[in-house]
Amino acid sequence: MVVALRYLWPLLFCSPCLLIQIPDELMEPPVITEQSPQRLVVFPTDDISLKCEARGRPQVEFRWTKDGIHFKPKEELGVVVHEAPYSGSFTIEGNNSFAQRFQGIYRCYASNKLGTAMSHEIQLVAEGAAAWDTGVGTGESSQTDSHLHLLILSSAEILHIKQDERVSMGQNGDLYFANVLTSDNHSDYICNAHFPGTRTIIQKEPIDLRVKPTNSMIDRKPRLLFPTNSSSHLVALQGQPLILECIAEGFPTPTIKWLHPSDPMPAHRVIYQNHNKTLQLLNVGEEDDGEYTCLAENSLGSARHAYYVTVEAAPYWLQKPQSHLYGPGETARLDCQVQGRPQPEVTWSINGMSMEKVNKDQKYRIEQGSLILSNVQPSDTMVTQCEARNQHGLLLANAYIYVVQLPARILTKDNQTYMAVEGSTAYLLCKAFGAPVPSVQWLDEEGTTVLQDERFFPYANGTLGIRDLQANDTGRYFCQAANDQNNVTILANLQVKEATQITEGPRSAIEKKGARVTFTCQASFDPSLQASITWRGDGRDLQERGDSDKYFIEDGQLVIQSLDYSDQGNYSCVASTELDEVESRAQLLVVGSPGPVSHLELSDRYLLKQSQVHLSWSPAEDHNSPIEKYDIEFEDKEMAPEKWYSLGKVPGNQTSTTLKLSPYVHYTFRVTAINKYGPGEPSPVSETVVTPEAAPEKNPVDVRGEGNETNNMVITWKPLWWMDWNAPQVQYRVQWRPQGKQETWKEQTVSDPFLVVSNTSTFVPYEIKVQAVNNQGKGPEPQVTIGYSGEDYPQVSPELEDITIFNSSTVLVRWRPVDLAQVKGHLRGYNVTFWWKGSQRKHSKRHVHKSHMVVPANTTSAILSGLRPYSSYHVEVQAFNGRGLGPASEWTFSTPEGVPGHPEALHLECQSDTSLLLHWQPPLSHNGVLTGYLLSYHPLDGESKEQLFFNLSDPELRTHNLTNLNPNLQYRFQLQATTQQGPGEAIVREGGTMALFGKPDFGNISATAGENYSVVSWVPREGQCNFRFHIWFKALPEGKVSPDRQPQPQYVSYNQSSYTQWNLQPDTKYEIHLMKEKVVLHHLAVKTNGTGPVRVSTTGSFASEGWFIAFVSAIILLLLILLILCFIKRSKGGKYSVKDKEDTQVDSEARPMKDETFGEYSDNEEKAFGSSQPSLNGDIKPLGSDDSLADYGGSVDVQFNEDGSFIGQYSGKKEKEAVGGNDSSGATSPINPAVALE
């Protein structure tokens, strides 16, 4: 048999009855095994069972006494005796209502020939029917066991009264209100008392509570409703709970605090209930003596009550007498040590009789509470009773003295195996029996006592304890029991296993609400033991559930999903075997934004006349992150429903504040707590308070006076926010008069935030005042603002000072300031308009876009950039005010010659292995007179990096041939057009006469096959020289095709890009070689498959030749192009007039530079559209006037593109057809709403 010591050690310290186990063949004195409690409270209809059960040999006999007089249950009417062995119990039947007759104090005696055992006193109390105790006053409590419930019966609906800090029920069942509200107004408050013992409920008559409404609630300091005096004295029993209560009234609602001045209250035994009004102290001890004070507080003061508690105790054991076996001639000693407050009185009885009656010969003596008998003999066998009592209770113990002569016996089984882990304590049992009591000693395998090692220690019952076990403690141990008659020995086997260890335990974590957390646990175990790892949360086992994914447990990991605040606590990993378990704990804190604030209360309402009120609240749950501040918000359901405004913030340690309010606002408040994780949920809203009306305290701001006609002035202002009205409505008193004239103020009161003053002179300054007024009076004296009547168009044009040319694309235009008196309004700035007129050699006949820019009024110059070189420009400058643009000043200037743009379309054409022919087109933008081209090139690879230059002085040149090139190199070619200002932008190409490494490049070469043919195709590389090479189809394997049917090598041109080989054998693999001068340039393989066309004859007509098919295709394509051109020309002929067609004959340079590209193939720069080379990209802009400022926005920050034109002219607008010809331009204004500048 193997014993796991992990579960064995509690048996070592059980009740004394387990210490003596008398063999069945011996007699045993009586021992009480079960009895009724000392106090029995019963009701008339209850059955009453008085229990008394005992064991002993020979059979035990029972007798009873009632109030000290012999009582025979069998002879009593209505009493049923239990006829079971070892039982003297009886039952009084309740259906005869005998409970009152059987009240009294009972005691049971159990006897056999070895002695008599006695039960404790059993008091039977019979209760009457449940009823309201009219003799119980306020502050007292009923002696009956009842539970009180407070209900409101309203419209046949039962409502349990919600109890809080303001409304609560006391321990005596009374209902207390700290202060009453109109919502407490009910006529049917009902108290119900529930008696569980009788299973009855009794109900009091309804109570009518009437609350008188009032316009002003008077604050008052706290006053105690219970208890009513300043102090009281209580007696508390040790080991029992102590309940103290304080209930107070006042407004605002008081809060209750408990103080224990002499010592801090033990937090683990203190429970605060009923919103802190009740203090419950569990398991009272002597150290809990002293003063307990309850303190009721609100903002106006406090009230207190002192409880002086004295702790007393019913009798309790210090040393309880134990039954024992003795041999003849020994001295018997029974110890009975008790304690209590007050000190209990101790009496001894023998076999149920008092000591005075049986100790006449003074054989027994009592010393310091112990009963001593010397030289005992078998006739001294007896059962003794030690009884202690004081005013709080009674204590009784039976213990026998059994005098007998018996040889030593060991009751523990022999050869038992015990298992324990290293570092723990092992207990090897050896329960010996005999009289005299045998002595017990433990020996090791060598017969030596084990007590030489201080880790080994014996118990009085024979058990051997071994602390701090080690692996080498494994072995066999012998227990030897001996008395004066014999000695006996048993064997105990001990196995010491490896202790379980947690090698990696869970770590404490702080996580946000909604996140997930993972705890890890790894442990080592003894390999011979069954092991497991489990998880606990706050002491309860955690397991995965099929209906929830909250917990996930696998491979020593605990994953908690979707964390909530209820998940925080202590989590532990438990590694266990059948012998031991170890635990590692970690704390989880779930953090997040605070909880909602509660219990908003408004007080100090008399301050509403001063537009103030005091707001208090209960703090919010901080969710493990300190509250940093509280945000106080308000809503006015009359003026702005469902819109909340912040009234201010207070520190997080503050739970009340006095609020500064505005007149005539319907305030409803809410409070939100804020911590580092953000704001929490808002509190429930408070009740609504309304501040009284008052005159306005502010006037409108942003007062302006501006005319929208030449003979009026529109006065505008920003209207007051409704919070500043201070009344249900607000109006505005507007006053005005001409500036500098002490005329009487003209005034008008309006509700709208504007006023139109008519019949004014043009652009005259006025003094303006706007004042808020309501039904309580006027606002403060307003400030004077200067406004102006309407403006007229400027009547003066700027005078040119000079034009400075910086370079071929940038000029500076300067003008003199205009006379402000002629502006007829506020000078807002200058509008600068300029446009390209054409090349210096030939002006454009086509209308082009005009560019605009706006400069501030304090600036008299403008830089025009991004202009075209070698061109003529026209510029106009106009002053403008709020009305519009004035007359324009006009000037013309020309830009100097610049460098040209890059040549167009540079191509490389291979002439031979060492020569290339270069083709190009002239630049689209000449920017002057072309003088020629500059060509340079250099090899990309190789040792020589020398740059070679060719100055081509003929501007009409379009080609150039380069010779003596290295066929094995690649070159970079760079071509630039030149004017008198130098070379322009270069166009760059790379290429060579041959591909790299001397081989031509067969790009994307592939082969396809039919039944008797194959097509090889490739993509010739640009710049690659044309050359001829052999292509040879070789059948595989050799010998499959007879030599006379083998295809012969054929000459092929590189530029033809494909070759078709006919007369191949079906289903045959061919290897294709591309060769030049016996050098294989490329090879690939193909297999015929019989799916393509079969050539019938090699001498067909010319219609099947490739050149004929290409010729016919080209003819068809040209005809299609001619048809398309005719269609386009006919559609244009029906759209334009003769003048429009003449206007289309413009210089190529007259076309916009940006996003337009034209090809030029001669020196004639001016070609009509009908006869000139068409644009390479075909992008020809529609003609017409587009210079109106109506196409642009009104910003002063104007941008230009690289050709000087205004960027806005291309931004998201379609160009319009001309209405007034090339020079048509309507009157424009940069600030007119319909004329916006961009």
* CB contact burial 1183-1222 (16+ within 10 A = b; e otherwise): bbbbbbbebbebeeebebbebbbbbbbeeeeeeeebeeeb
Give the pLDDT confidence of 267-317 residue by residue, as tens digits: 889 999 999 999 999 999 988 999 999 999 998 899 999 999 999 999 999
8 Å CB contact between 1169 and 1128: no
Give the pLDDT confidence of 549-559 residue by residue, as tens digits: 899 999 899 99
Counting every residue, how long is the chain? 1238
**Distance (Å) of CA 360 to CA 140, 152, 365, 428, 684:** 52, 72, 11, 47, 83
Residue 944's pLDDT is what? 65
Whether 375 and 388 map to the same domain: the answer is yes
* Band of residue 95 on the pLDDT scale cut at 50, 70, 90: low
The set of long-range contacts for 357-361, using a CB threshold of 8 Å and a minimum separation of 24, is none
Which of 468-482, 529-543, 900-914 is least confident?
900-914
Whether 1121 and 1135 map to the same domain: the answer is yes
Q: What average pLDDT does range 1094-1111 have in this prediction? A: 53
The string of DSSP codes covering 781-840 is PPPPEEEE---------PEEEEEEEEETTEEEEEEEPPPGGGT-S---EEEEEEEEEEES
Domain assignment present for 16: no
Q: How many domains does the chain have?
A: 10
Helix (H) or strand (E) holding 244: strand 242-245
Q: Quick one: tokens of 1040?
A: 């499959």
Domain assignment present for 1237: no
Residue 496 backbone phi and psi in degrees, to 5? -105, 120
Whether 335 and 306 map to the same domain: the answer is no
d(C-alpha 272, C-alpha 246), whole Å: 12
Give the pLDDT confidence of 583-638 residue by residue, as tens digits: 999 999 999 999 999 999 998 877 888 889 999 999 999 999 999 999 999 999 99
8 Å CB contact between 39 and 106: no
Domain assignment present for 283: yes
Which phi-psi region, left, alpha or beta, contains residue 1184 (left: φ > 0; alpha: ψ -120 to 50)?
left
Residue 215's pLDDT is what? 62
8 Å CB contact between 993 and 1022: no
Domain assignment present for 525: yes
Domain assignment present for 1178: no
Beta carbons within 10 angstroms of residue 1235's beta carbon: 21
922: cis peptide before it, omega within 30°?
no
Question: Which residue, among 1036, 1029, 1022, has the nearest Cα to 1052 in the 3D structure?
Answer: 1029
Residue 1155's pLDDT is what? 36
Whether 297 and 329 map to the same domain: the answer is no
Domain assignment present for 158: no
Residue indicated by tokens 């086992």: 541
Which of 598-607, 772-781, 1093-1102, 1214-1223 is least confident?
1214-1223
Whether 1022 and 1036 map to the same domain: the answer is yes
Residue 130's pLDDT is what? 63
Q: Flag whether pLDDT at 1146 surpasses 60.
A: no
Q: Flag whether pLDDT at 1216 surpasses 60.
A: no
8 Å CB contact between 949 and 933: no
8 Å CB contact between 657 and 665: no
Give the pLDDT confidence of 1009-1018 residue by residue, as tens digits: 988 889 999 8
Domain assignment present for 638: yes
Residue indicated by tokens 């301050």: 607
Question: Which residue, among 753, 883, 862, has the nearest Cα to 810 in the 3D structure?
Answer: 862
Whether 493 and 506 map to the same domain: the answer is no
Residue 1100's pLDDT is what? 42
Residue 550 backbone phi and psi in degrees, to 5? -65, -45
Instruction: Answer with the one of 725, 759, 788 that is the final residue of a domain.
Output: 788
Instruction: Answer with the one of 126, 156, 179 that is the final residue of a domain.
Output: 126
Whether 448 and 520 map to the same domain: the answer is no
Beta carbons within 10 angstroms of residue 1043's beta carbon: 6
Grouping H, G, I as helix, E, B as strand and the rest as coil, residue 393 is strand
Question: Which residue, among 488, 473, 489, 483, has the nearest Cα to 427 in the 3D structure?
Answer: 473
Residue 599's pLDDT is what? 93
Q: Quick one: tokens of 1028?
A: 């001829």
Q: Flag whether pLDDT at 1176 surpasses 60.
A: no
Read off the CATH number of the domain in which 1020 is found: 2.60.40.10
Whether 548 and 632 map to the same domain: the answer is no
Beta carbons within 10 angstroms of residue 101's beta carbon: 13
Residue 635 backbone phi and psi in degrees, to 5? -135, 140
Question: Which residue, among 1185, 1200, 1204, 1203, has the nearest Cα to 1237 in the 3D structure?
Answer: 1200
Question: Which residue, among 969, 863, 962, 964, has the nearest Cα to 1198 in the 3D structure?
Answer: 863
Whether 710 and 643 map to the same domain: the answer is no
Which residues, other chains included, contact 1146 with Cβ-Cβ below 8 Å and sequence gap of 6+? 838, 844, 845, 846, 1166
Whether 776 and 731 map to the same domain: the answer is yes
8 Å CB contact between 728 and 664: yes
8 Å CB contact between 368 and 336: no
Q: Flag whether pLDDT at 976 surpasses 70.
A: yes
8 Å CB contact between 580 and 500: yes
Give the pLDDT confidence of 527-584 residue by residue, as tens digits: 999 999 999 999 999 988 877 889 999 989 999 999 999 999 999 999 999 999 999 9
d(C-alpha 439, C-alpha 480), whole Å: 8
* Band of residue 402 on the pLDDT scale cut at 50, 70, 90: very high
Give the pLDDT confidence of 648-673 residue by residue, as tens digits: 999 999 999 999 999 999 999 999 99
Q: In what order do the strands lie in the sheet with 365-367?
A: 332-335, 370-373, 365-367
Whether 1025 and 1043 map to the same domain: the answer is yes
Residue 1182's pLDDT is what? 35
Instruction: Answer with the one of 497, 523, 553 that is the final residue of a domain.
Output: 497
Domain that residue 1127 falls in? 1116-1143
8 Å CB contact between 256 and 296: yes
DSSP H helix total and E strand total for the chain: 3, 93
8 Å CB contact between 836 and 844: yes
- Tell me the β-bridge partners of 302: 297
Question: 1019 or 316, which is more confident?
Answer: 316
Whether 257 and 308 map to the same domain: the answer is yes
Domain assignment present for 451: yes
d(C-alpha 1074, C-alpha 793), whole Å: 85
Beta carbons within 10 angstroms of residue 717's beta carbon: 22
Residue 857's pLDDT is what? 94
* Band of residue 1196 on the pLDDT scale cut at 50, 70, 90: very low
**Average pLDDT in the chain:** 83
* CB contact burial 659-673 (16+ within 10 A = b; e otherwise): bebbbbbbbbbbbbb
Would strands 278-281 and 242-245 be described as parallel, antiparallel, or unpaired? antiparallel
* Band of residue 1172 on the pLDDT scale cut at 50, 70, 90: very low
Give the pLDDT confidence of 408-417 residue by residue, as tens digits: 999 999 999 9
Give the CA count within 13 Å in the CB-facing half-sphere of 233: 2
